[in-house]
Structure 1
Amino acid sequence: MRYRQGIAPETCSGEGRAMFRRTPRVLLGAALLWGCGDKPSPDLTPPSVLLTTPREVRRQRVRLTGLAGDDTGVERLTWWLNGGEAQVLESTAAEGGRAFSLELLSRPGANTLVVRAEDAAGNVTDASTSFHVSFGPLVSAGGLHGGTVRGGQLYTWGQNTQGQLGLGDTTARPLPTVVADLSQVASIAFNSNTSLAIREDGSVWTWGANASGQLGLGTPPVDGQAHTPDTQARNRPTQVPGLTDAVSGALGFSHALVLKADGSVVAFGKNNNGQLGDGTTTDRDYPVRVLGLTDVVKLAGGSQQSMALKRDGTVWAWGNNDSGNLGQGAEDTVAHPEPAQVPGLSGVVDIASGREHMLALHTDGTVSAWGLNASGQVGNGEGGTGLEVYAPVKVVGLTDVVAVYANSNFSLALKADGTLWGFGQNFNGQLGNGQSGKDYQADPLADTAVVGLSDLRDVAAGSTFGLGLRRDGLLFGWGWNSNGSLGNDELQNNWSFAEPVKVKLP
């Protein structure tokens, strides 16, 4: 047992000094504070622990910092995540105590971190923080429908002609409505008239349009037997059979991609250009493995092409290449049913795909792009018919970017300061810069920031509109509002809103 001393014994006299000589050896459970002439007093003051708000880091990691203090000094720090085994927490001396920093590989959905501080007397303080981690988007946008995840619950709104809102009918909703059939949702992916959700348990759920089997609800064929594809639309979320370890998903216009926990990828849906990556051009209404891909951390789907980011920072693409979509330095009109590495790209940390153009974010905060460039969506300072870009080029004037997004013929880039910048098609105000009808080609002198938004956590690009989720939980939309796509019943229908308006979440 350790004891702490208040006043040196040579300054004491009488009984106090005698007591100091008789150092206790049988007292347990607390340190003793010696004072001149005083009887031993236990140290009952527990340490203090201050935790910062966790910040998401790309590729399933969360960073957290903190400070632990105690009146006699912190003896030991430990931590554990989601009830797991306790681990020693390294710290450094700082004003007020011991400073520490953690970068955690968390699970999708709800997480709880506990940090324990102990002093020499055995006093203990536990500080905990809970946070939600998404391996994929917490907000997503399709053709004219949107959705967001809050506390594991999914809310949807907008057009619903194919049941893409998951509410059991085909009636449009101008206001966000909870999807009662799903809980513990970790991330979502919307595109066109189809929706996909990943639950915290790794299961995959799909609903909406299904003409090409993009819901993945069919049964794999049996040799020698006829196969009838499942192409029936669903207006309620339905679990994709056989997938129990998914961490994120992405949707193309009529096909789906799912990233599994082991870094492999499966796909289902339309496959006329080989966008499923299984070596064929046969549509699949059930999941098939994408050939040759391992250690993948992010997926993106376009019109009829697909893209994957690997942990080593390389980018791989497959499917349609008629606008140089695959970044191989040339265009062609043949199917590419197997992934191929995009040449000249390294150190990539995020990817996005529009209709037929692609974006790649580098570790230095710059962005490369390639593919269709009719509206300047590649961001190389040009745009128009016949100006496709067949190999990655740097987007002009963009620096300090932390995430990229795309759909249709426009692109969005989120900067480290939480502001959002756009380039490409803007006929419906989908760049959110206060103007509409004018395309922006990433001219660094042009005012292409989304008006009035900062401190954004997540962003989504729909076909003709955008969504931005702030860190305080407020959600905003801009662009074309039709059938409630901007989630606000006070807005005029079939009208462009070139500046962000609040989505009316419950």
Structure 2
Amino acid sequence: MRLTPVCLVLGSLLSLSVVVACNDDDTASDVSSTDETPDSGVNTTPSTSRDAGTANDSEAPTEKDSGTGQDAAPADETSPTLEILSPREDRVIDERVVVVTGTAKDDVGVTSLSYIVGAGVPVTVPVDADGTFSFTFVPTPGANTVELTAKDAAGNEVKAIRSAYYGRRVATGNAQGALLEDGKLFTWGRNELGQLGNGTLVGTWSSDENVILPKMYEQAAPDLVSVVSRQTFMIALAKGGTVRTWGANDTGQLGYDTPADCGAKLNTACGRAPATVPGISDAVAVAAGFNHSLVLRADGTVLAFGSNSKGQLGISEGTGTNVPTPVRGLTNVIAISAGSAHSVALTADGKVWVWGSNANGQSGAGAADALSHPTPTEVPGVVGASIASSNYAVFVKKADGTVVAWGQNNNGQLGNGTTTDAALPAPVLVSLATETSVAVPLTKVESLWADAFTCIAVDTDGNVHGWGANSLGQLAQGLLADGKPDKVNRSLAVPITVPNTDKPSFIVLELVVGAGGAVFARTTQDKVFGWGWSFQGSLGGGSTLINAWPYTTPRQIYPVL
């Protein structure tokens, strides 16, 4: 007579292990399932969870399979785990593409992963066998939010949200600064050419009541999403794709005519208040050179106006123009940058294009010359993920987080351990902490900013490195052994740190270095730190930072302490 099988089920609440032992001839089976708990640092929201109040799972009732009368496998109530690895939360993006990477895993298997940007429609994302994923989306100027949803076969799901900002919220130039915050535009510093945009030529250093940041200019701010500066003018991008400019206009860099009633002799053209550049309604990014301007349009083409002394506008005529003019031969551009007399573009395929001056080898083609180069030329052998320009040098961050640079190097701004110009791209190096004589490529770089003769990089952890000119305290190296400010230039990248009391709030999201030596960093706690050269209020820190000398230690300037 055949015996009816009798089975014993043993279970564990947190790590479910079901052992089925029967007195039939069938072999006993062991089925295991382990819950995975999402990383507490990731913004995840499971749709289901176990009842943590069950004290003894041996007393829990079992379900019977209606077809066999045997105990059924427990229902899968474990949600997948979902972690976004990049970009960092609220990171500032300079490129018109956001790369999102992460992992989506489940004890049984992830059946679907999708994302939504803003109020858009869901887009399915493939997940590799090891649970990793990667996708890109095109950001809109300003704040962008992407929501990811991972599901398993049982319908359990988990969500994760990440924000990124496309544009610049901090700017500096020769001796002025700007900050976009809470729908307001703060400007401070020198204003002899109207670069503060406050309708006057009065700077924030001129009287006690105006000296402390924030000096607000609110009229043009509610719809602004990005602001940049170089030398003595500013460019801002507004929602809807219009562009506003103000400040110096001696070469037409504002994109329109202005009276010549500014400067020390009141005979220099300038705009004292923001005005809209005619003919532009589809801008997505802006960049400022020494005295020329670049605008990236939504269709991936570039407009230029201002000085054309070396062909930096992309036109062969030697004279400049205040009329936004298309740069011929460029399509699918995702980022723009400008130096003193050269321009740079990054296209979606990673190619880097340079036009304008090649006096210091900015073309990256192997030789310098004094000619004008109005036609964009691809830099050989370089595939980039982001770009930056100082006065006469070009910097490219690669997809692997390393940086190459070329051009002028008189202050060590190429970061290759020398002060010799380079007409070919070479890696930016950093000294090993334990062996200062050994230099290795700088890695994990997330973003780059450069101006004048200094370049500064932020890595994927929010740490900061700088190299190049430090005569104005741009590298924030503190004091020397004799108590004097460290103003020694660096030809290798060095860490930039703050006093211990400020370290928890000095995780940098955005950084900008100015032609006049001022440097500003915006952090994860919405604080702004400033350091470097102070001239006529350029550091924006009020009476504590008003003296005309280098401040070699970062100090919080916003919110006002």
The two structures have a TM-score, normalised by structure 1, of 0.77
Per-residue CA deviations over 1:347-378 (Å, capped at 9, x if unaligned) read 21122111112212222322222222221112
- State the shift of 1:407 in Å: 1.0
Distance (Å, rounded) in 2 between the aligned partners of 1:330 and 1:103: 36
1:488 aligns with 2:509: no
Instruction: Quote the residue 2:526 is aligned against.
Output: 473
Equivalent residue number for residue 450 of structure 1 = 496
Aligned to 1:380: 416
Counterpart of 2:539, as a letter, is: L
Seen in structure 2, the aligned counterparts of structure 1 residues 67 and 200 have a Cα distance that, compared at 3 Å, is farther
Matches within 5 A, 1:399-418: 399-400=442-443, 401-418=445-462
Q: Say if 2:553 is the partner of 1:499.
A: yes
Q: 1:115 & 1:414 partners in 2: Cα distance? A: 26
Cα deviation digits, residues 424-468 of structure 1 (max 9, x gap) = 211110111215564434346xxx221226521111010212111
Deviation at 1:404, TM superposition (A): 1.9
Aligned match of 1:186 = 225
Q: Against the structure 1 CA distance between its residues 93 and 362, is the aligned structure 2 distance closer, same or farther, given a 3 Å change threshold?
A: closer
Structure 1 counterpart of 2:329: 292
Aligned twin of 1:165? 196
Post-superposition CA distance 1:233-291 (Å, at most 9, x none): 11221111111111111111100011111111110001111111122222111100112
- Partner amino acid, structure 1, of 2:519: G
Query: Structure 1's 280 and 416: CA in aligned 2 closer, same or farther, altered over 3 A?
Result: same
User: How far apart, CA to CA, are the structure 1 residues paired with 2:65 and 2:396?
Assistant: 69
Q: In the TM superposition, what are the counterparts of 1:80-99 in structure 2 within 5 Å? A: 80-88=116-124
Q: CA deviation at 1:342?
A: 2.1
CA distance in 2, matches of 1:266, 1:348: 21
Bigger drift between 59-68 and 347-356 goes to: 59-68
SS in 1 for 2:196: coil
- The percent of aligned pairs where both chains have the same amino acid is 34
State the alpha-carbon separation in 2 of the partners of residues 442 and 491 from structure 1: 28
Within the candidate set 403, 417, 423, 1:390 is matched to 423
1:342 aligns to what SS in structure 2?
A: strand
Equivalent in the alignment of 1:305: 342
Alignment-derived partner of residue 4 in structure 2? none
Alpha-carbon distance in structure 2 between the residues aligned to 1:389 and 1:379: 11
1-structure distance, mates of 2:233, 2:279: 20
Is the Cα–Cα contact under 8 Å of residues 428 and 437 in structure 1 kept in the other structure?
Answer: no
- 1:144 maps to what in 2? 175
Change over 3 Å in CA distance of 1:425–1:119 after alignment to 2:
closer
Question: 8 Å contact 1:409–1:425 — kept in the other structure?
Answer: yes
* Cα distance in 2 for residues equivalent to 1:415 and 1:86: 31
Number of the residue aligned with 1:360: 396
Residues matched between the structures, number? 452
Change (3 A) 1:93 1:194: same
Partner of 1:341: 378
CA–CA distance in structure 1, aligned partners of residues 304 and 343 of structure 2 = 10
Q: 1:99 to 1:6 in 2, by over 3 A?
A: farther
1:108 matched to 2:146? The reply is: no
Give yes or no for contact 1:196–1:204 (8 Å, CA) kept in 2: yes
1:79–1:432 Cα change, 3 Å? same
Counterpart Cα distance in 1 of 2:305 and 2:172: 20
Aligned-residue offset at 1:88? 4.9
- Tell me the alpha carbon deviations over residues 303-347 of structure 1, each in whole angstroms, 9 at most, x when there is no partner: 11111122222221111222223223222222222212223x322
Structure 1 residues 420 and 118: alpha-carbon distance in aligned structure 2, compared to 1, 3 A threshold: closer
1:424 aligns with 2:468: yes
Q: Does the Cα contact within 8 Å between 1:197 and 1:204 map onto a contact in 2? A: yes
The match for 1:36 is none
Amino acid across the alignment from 2:469: Q
Confirm or deny: 8 A CA contact 2:314 2:374 kept in the other structure. yes
- Give distance in 2, aligned partners of 1:278 and 1:390: 23
Q: Structure 1 residue 329 and structure 2 residue 329: aligned?
A: no
Structure 1 spans left out of the alignment, 5+ residues: 14-44, 220-230
Are 1:108 and 1:132, in contact at CA under 8 Å, matched by a contact in 2? Answer: no
2: distance between equivalents of 1:112 and 1:322?
Answer: 42
Q: Is contact 1:109–1:152 with CA below 8 Å preserved after alignment? A: no
Matches of 1:437 and 1:205, distance apart in 2 = 38
Moved more, 201-210 or 158-167: 158-167
Amino acid at match of 2:383: G
What corresponds to 1:133 in structure 2? 165
1:273 is aligned, of 279, 285, 310, to: 310
> SS of 2:199's equivalent?
coil
Pairwise CA distance, 1:413: 2.1
Partner of residue 63, structure 2: 7
Q: Is the 8 A contact 1:481 1:493 kept in 2?
A: yes
